[in-house]
Amino acid sequence: MFQKLIFFAKIAFMRVDKFLNVVNITKRRAISEDMCKSGVVGINGVIVKASKEVKVGDIITLHFTEYTQKYKVLALPSTKSIPKNAQNEYVVKL
């Protein structure tokens, strides 16, 4: 009589501080927030706040004192955390 409907919601965006934490680039979300406050994190060449939304295809740049690291967003995780060996499914170093 009743049909069971299952919806799979695709995430279209995620906060940059949460993304950096979930894909294991930073150990804690508080560290990601502090990095954004100090101007270390950029998306597509623009320094951003922690609340900036990340989308698939964005280039995240981390400006450290000795070097700069760039990552390309391949997918957005739908789980709270992912294993380190699955990191390359969501982000790739450039």
pLDDT band at 7 (very low <50, low <70, confident <90, very high): very low
* Per-residue H/E/C for the chain: CCCCCCCCCCCCCEEHHHHHHHCCCCCCHHHHHHHHHCCCEEECCEECCCCCEECCCCEEEEECCCCEEEEEECCCCCCCCCCHHHHHHCEEEC
Domains of the chain as residue ranges with CATH: 14-93 (3.10.290.10)
pLDDT in tens, 9-43: 556 788 999 999 999 999 999 999 999 999 999 99
Q: What is the mean pLDDT of residues 53-78?
A: 92
Q: Is the pLDDT of residue 91 over 60?
A: yes
Both tokens of 45, joined, read: 């060449």
Residue 81 binned pLDDT confidence (cut-offs 50, 70, 90): confident
